[in-house]
Amino acid sequence: MSMHIKQCLDNYLQHLSFNRHLSPLTVSANQRDIEQFIQSLEKGKADVVTEVTENDVRSYLMGRAAQGISARSLARYRSHLKNFFAYLKRQKILDINPAESVQTPRIKRKLPEVLDVDTMFKLVDIPLSSETAIRDKAVLELFYSSGLRLSELSQLCWSDLDFDSGLVRVLGKGRKERLVPLGKMAEQALLLWQPIATIWNQTQQDFVFISQRGGQLKNRSIQARVKHWAQQQGLWERVYPHLLRHSFASHMLESSSDLRSVQEMLGHADLSTTQIYTHLNFQHLAKVYDQAHPRAKKKKT
């Protein structure tokens, strides 16, 4: 079977949206990257997808590398193309995946930033001097209590919270559902916020976090509130929602060393994604050792 590659792309994007339930941003990124590759093809190959070869993929990525594109972006291009062609192979449109064997430069994995426990406690201990502050306190406590992603927190509904069992039902990436513990401090902050949310709510929607105008509190507003309170609390380092998720994961591993449980709470599909926090903790332990152990201290000469 041979099809025009653009028709194949349209079918693939619908598959990502309706079958894989990926976010509009993720679908848009796939579309943009694959369309750039299609534009690089010779006219005949763009007409018939079965004419695309491994060399076409390799030449495209090498050309992008020559333009100074980072190793991380090259890996993303390659991943999007590989997944696209894998889909076409499953649909019996292609016999082989032309991106399967193409390699990109190895990415040096950067360890995530985290706040230490004392700094994290200082951040969430905000004065409850207004209704907005009461809402924001619940935002900060829930981020740190349950390790939610920004999009997960903004989409959270009251029906997702089970105060009796102390659990939060979260709809994560790919619409995968998971249950996450709700900490006592987060529960108290949410219960304090709930009656105010009921008064503020001007819609029939059930979102936990809403603005003073009565609608859903959007991602950018949540980011701005986190930044605002970090500055108000005297934390002038860059503080953002995902930093609170990183801190949650790191502190959980420091206390429990239960990698599998932390993986489940974070909603990571791959354990290796969670293991990065183990490396972070080893780095922290090595620093403590160097500072404290008498055999680690260099003798003064």
Q: Which residues are catalytic?
A: 149, 173, 242, 245, 268, 277
SS3 216: strand
Buried b (16+ CB within 10 A) or exposed e, 69-87: eeeeebbbbbebbbbbbeb
First to last CA, the chain: 76
Contact status, residue 34 vs residue 9, Cβ threshold 8 Å: yes
Neighbours of 194 (CB within 10 A): 15
The angle subtended at Cα 146 by Cα 145 and Cα 152, nearest 5°, is: 130
Half-sphere exposure of 7 (CA within 13 A, CB side): 9
> CA-to-CA distance for 9 and 38, rounded, in angstroms?
10
> CA-to-CA distance for 232 and 234, rounded, in angstroms?
5
**What is the DSSP secondary-structure string of 42-64?**
-HHHHH-GGG--HHHHHHHHHHH
> CA-to-CA distance for 12 and 279, rounded, in angstroms?
37
SS3 203: coil
Closest CA to 165 of 140, 143, 187, 149: 187
